[in-house]
Amino acid sequence: MPFTTERNVLASGVVVLRLTGTMTMGAQLQQLEWDIAELLKNSQKRIAVDMAAITYLDSSAIGAIVGASGSVRTAGGQLRLAAVTDRVKTIFKMTGLERVLGVDATVDEAVAKLAAVDPS
């Protein structure tokens, strides 16, 4: 399944970035970087990444996620991962990523945490 992204800006100003498919090395991962860069350019710095429809990710994808989180943090924002599947959660545990990034059980939980953050 090809990798796609879809954005939804909520009334709270939090952006939900829904990822779908498999995240593996290749040009499609650059779309995630472009989406994050565009959001930051538009001062949208509170981002919940909905990963419920991600079936697999490789080390390149992990690097892209860490890079995206770093870009958001550098811009004074916050990125949270949400609704991670069991298969992807196992990969996050093996790599220690769940200790580095905010990972929430549901998108609603991530959005609530981000909505409580001062957007300035």
pLDDT in tens, the chain (120 residues): 788 999 999 999 999 999 999 999 888 889 899 999 999 999 999 999 999 999 899 999 999 999 999 999 999 999 999 999 999 999 999 988 888 899 999 999 999 999 998 776
CA distance 87 to 105: 14
Q: Is residue 59 part of a domain?
A: yes
- DSSP, collapsed to helix, strand or coil, labels residue 47 as strand
Contacts of 111 (CB under 8 A, 6+ apart): 10, 12, 14, 16, 48, 82
Q: And the tokens for 48?
A: 């919940």
Q: Is residue 80 part of a domain?
A: yes
Q: Is residue 120 part of a domain?
A: no
What pLDDT is stored for residue 120 in this prediction? Answer: 65
Number of domains into which the chain is organized: 1
Report the CATH number at residue 27: 3.30.750.24
Q: How many residues does the chain have?
A: 120
Q: And the tokens for 119?
A: 């957007």
What pLDDT is stored for residue 117 in this prediction? Answer: 83
